[in-house]
Structure 1
């Protein structure tokens, strides 16, 4: 039997999904399907005819059952619906991103979504701090720094032994942090386990990658943090790594000589 065209398959899947799910649980004879679906026998005949034509079901030993292709299709549809649910959960966060954002769908699918809530939306920063605290290698890019969490981030990202932190931020952001927190900034600069870079950051969100284990985004709103997205899928990590590498490639290191801050290319 010839395979249905993709658009025909999608149409059949949408219209005959209830029956397909019933057969996904276990094979059924027609009388059992009539009872399970609570439909007339003549309607069921039309349904199984469509499903059979689409190679989704087959008749075997007196029962209708899913074909292997039908099992794959039903599983794929379930994952698709789960992906849509993830996107829907992330709406409050996604809506704060600009229309030309580089954030791709592959980072959003299956992400854990944390939305800031009034009256203290920045309270969800503990999600970020907890995520980096257990990592040994953290790479991050940020267009801004939340001064109230700079020290907490430094402590969380350098907890334990054999850890390393790489951070890329605008030079003016670093200089502002240095003005507000000179002691902790000097300590970070003197730490061999920290490498700081400065660059123009072409995105409005902060991004981090922890141990190639997971990646995360911090999305901002006018009143602070709008939300945090964390994803550990291979697709999400590939996208996040591409973003980090692209920005870090054009970045310049910030380093100390004695007590004087220098940037590459300047003395």
Structure 2
């Protein structure tokens, strides 16, 4: 389809979408459309004419209904609007990130967004703990750590029988945690089902992948957490896995005790 034709199609869809929506739900005669859309017959005539000229609707057996192109176009339009709604839902969280942070739109569309709220914004961390508790294999990267939740995360991520945990940390994060909680850190290092790496984590969020079921990111503020985003779509998992593999590839294993 030439670009000019697709632009014309987009213009018709923008202006005449409600009528196409009504016909997508159920083929109707014009008298029925006048009632369901609550518009004058003369206005409806103009709308249907535009849709017909764009090959989006056709008249069959006394009723107007979408053409195959019309139905596909309407479905695509609906999916596009739902995607915009997902991006809007995620905006309060991702707008906390630097402009250069690589959060792909595929990770945001159809995601669950959990925004931290006052007076205890850290409560949102429970979403993370619940998400990893039943997993058998957790992979993650983080450039930041909340020391008060490090032990809780470890216990929840390794709660399952033979659960595997792999984490890539910034070197200074690991050393800081080891200074604050030496016994706890030693216990983690001695756990045969937990593998820690240190290396450059060039993103300003924390990311985890739970089995192959879902992935999530935690967006931090200077003092706390802004929110958590979780997505279980294939596109989201592919993006998260790519982010993890890029960081893991250059990371070094932290020797076990």
- 1:29-61 CA-partner distances (Å, limit 9, x unpaired): 111112222222222121111111222111001
What stretches of structure 1 of length at least 5 have no aligned partner?
Answer: 258-267
In structure 1, distance between residues paired with 2:144 and 2:46: 60
Q: Where do 1:48-67 residues align within 5 Å?
A: 48-67=48-67
Q: Which residue of 2 aligns with 1:105?
A: 105
In structure 2, distance between residues paired with 1:49 and 1:162: 65
Q: Which residue of 1 aligns with 2:182?
A: 182
In structure 1, distance between residues paired with 2:182 and 2:233: 38
Q: Which residue of 2 aligns with 1:152?
A: 152
In structure 2, distance between residues paired with 1:134 and 1:256: 25
- 1:56-82 CA-partner distances (Å, limit 9, x unpaired): 111001110112222222222112111
In structure 2, distance between residues paired with 1:38 and 1:159: 58
Alpha carbons 1:4, 1:54 under 8 Å: kept: no
Q: How many angstroms does 1:3 deviate by?
A: 11
- Report the count of equivalent residues: 256
CA RMSD of superposed structures (Å) = 1.5
TM-score by length of 1: 0.92
SS state of the match for residue 55, structure 1?
coil
Q: How many angstroms does 1:147 deviate by?
A: 0.4
- 1:170-222 CA-partner distances (Å, limit 9, x unpaired): 11111111111111111110111001000011110000001111000000112
Q: Which residue of 2 aligns with 1:75?
A: 75
Q: How many angstroms does 1:117 deviate by?
A: 0.8
In structure 1, distance between residues paired with 2:37 and 2:7: 25
Alpha carbons 1:165, 1:193 under 8 Å: kept: yes
SS state of the match for residue 203, structure 1?
coil
Alpha carbons 1:140, 1:207 under 8 Å: kept: yes
Q: How many angstroms does 1:229 deviate by?
A: 0.3
Alpha carbons 1:56, 1:70 under 8 Å: kept: yes
Q: Relative to 1, partners in 2 of residues 1:68 and 1:3: Cα closer, same or farther, differing over 3 Å?
A: farther
In structure 2, distance between residues paired with 1:3 and 1:183: 64
Q: How many angstroms does 1:256 deviate by?
A: 2.8
